[in-house]
Structure 1
Amino acid sequence: YGFPESHAASFALIAYATSWLRCHYPDVFTCSLLDAQPMGFYTPATIVDDAIRHGVEVRPVDVTASDWDCTLEPASVRDREEARTEPGGARRPRSKARRGSGQAVRDRGATPLRGMHRPSRFAVRMGLRYVKSLSEERDWRRIEAARAKRPFASLADFSRRTRLDDRVLRRLAEAGAFAPFEGRRRAALWQAQGLGPASEAPLPVAPDEPLPDFDPLDDFQAIDWDYRFSAHSTRGHPLAPLREALAAQNLPDARTVAGMPDGGRVRYAGLVICRQRPGTASGVTFMTLEDETGFVNIVIWKQVFDDHAVLARTASFLGVSGKLQSESGVVHVVADALWAPEIPARPPTAGSRDFH
């Protein structure tokens, strides 16, 4: 890329250190990366999906467990006591991987560089900062103060003690953060309606209607609600519920594409997570597409891009036809056509990073 040697050496060191952390401490790395957002290239949704694919347990937002930032929790009940108890019986505070803090790394013993990395000992708990429209000062401080006194007993108890307004309660319900009280998100949303301080009657009136029997969200709907209200999902990738429909059209997933022979023809469809057109690339555009199994890199020559300009610039879910190039484990699809996939439902997306 024309870097001077000093720049290249510094970049190589950072890349090596980052790769080492991601390999040996994937849970800590993921938590730290999520708490450092926004920082550029990959969206939180992509970071979460990639972590899950690599064996990191990522837990959803939860008003009884989430802090404002993402945190680390022991991955099992047994580990919870081991990880939070110091020698001699003293309690250890919950590890948090905040920006600039090495506490979570120090809580884990060093893993040798050589050999297999150990499985994740911690799960990542998503922070309430990822629920859209929540304010740290206005909303989280109330939740934090009320929870410090005693655990919440119910959704009504949460509302009464935090005194959050109706809009915030609805958003928490839509994001699934009330799951400990009501696992059905539509039912939680129904219960949250009218619980805010502005809706309180002068005298408490017992409801005279039973809770409606709401249908639970199916897998696609649950992921869609997650993306709409928190821009990520710990429950699955948007394309996972659509895989059967994609397979019926002979559209492979990224893992299958990676195993195809060099020089073969391929048709693939995935979510666009980034578009790049370096100034030194003579008009060539590079895209990265993603599905529930990984990534596919796309090379688009200028003429192909111009022929499909609207799709190339704006599509969030894109189909590509082209020739596979595979060399030394690096796989690209050199596109000769772009198209809009035809599927029963439009998958949600967290957006893409384009032309930066």
Structure 2
Amino acid sequence: MCTRVIYTPKEKQSYVGRNMDWAVNPSPQLWVMPPNVKRKAMAKTERGQEFKWKSKYSSVIVSNFGISNSDGLNSEGLAVNLLWLSSSKYPDGPHHKNAFPMSMSIWAQYILDSCKNVKEAVYAMKDIYIQTTTIPDDPSKLATCHLSVGDKKGNSLVFEYISGRLHIYTNVDTSGEKFSDFPHIIKHYTQDEMRVMTNDPKFDTQIGSLVYWDELHETYKDGPALLPGSNLSLSRFVRATYFSRQLPKNAPQNLALARLSGVINNAAQPATSVENADVSRTQYNSFADQSRLHYFFRSAYGPFLIWIDLSDVNFDKLKNKKGYAFTLQLNEDGVFQDCDKQAISGKVNQYLTVEKMFPFLPIP
């Protein structure tokens, strides 16, 4: 399944790359969401109440199946990535009487709308709990995911629901009065440990697996790297961690994305004739340049990388257009083509069009 890697070659430089691995093409589309949009959680309490908010920040996102946000970057340089975690188990009800449910389909968008850094994202979940439902391509299967969040300082967190309770893994300090009555479980790791995540097993088990491989590399440090060779999730986590640690420091901005792309490609799953629920082909790559607010996207069905500069979007065009956003018209495979049906590369801001926002999937 999927892989996410954070690369911070310099101070005030941070990049996030991810592979979206899925058994079928999820029909990804790129959207640019404006600020000051009123949204609701797409799930209601037993009394019929629904959590609502207004977006503080603009964002560029990837939608899948036309019903959810799986990846994105906001105008504060905060990046989000939703990855599969089959061991997730969501709560049957609120963790306290004033908590509100939220559909997983809009979870990532809520964080982008509301938060400018990782610490704010942790606190944003104080009174929220996530609910899930079936996925469009397989009505017999529940969507079970964990969410990663990274800010432009290279800080990161992972949200996971384990046995019905939210677990938060992060490198940021959450001590202090603000978190004194925080209802969720928080575990702290170093910034280096938080750079890579894949799918199963749960994140702290992924981190724990590094003890063996780190000892092995220390024992044979003068020889070639000894790494797991399978395409299973934990093997990809170990390999991506090893190669991300080899990325050069002080890489110039023009090379940093290329360096990160090499690690992401190493963890990708090419299309093969042998696939199952645990080994699905990579459908697309996305990359966030968090300092320059550039968002890059490459479909596995096309040869080129395209990108949107979030700082160069004129949101005045959306005045008096409630419920509308900018989108890039990708084909059914997630490839951008010009009027002659030729795939193109490069900055695509000029091709953004105004369209009605897709509907986030509600909890029935």
**Higher-strand-fraction structure:** 2
TM-score by length of 2: 0.31
TM-score (norm 1): 0.32
> Comparing both chains, which one has the higher relative contact order based on Cα–Cα distances under 8 Å and sequence gaps of 6 or more?
2
Higher-Rg member (1/2): 1
Q: Which has the higher helix share?
A: 1
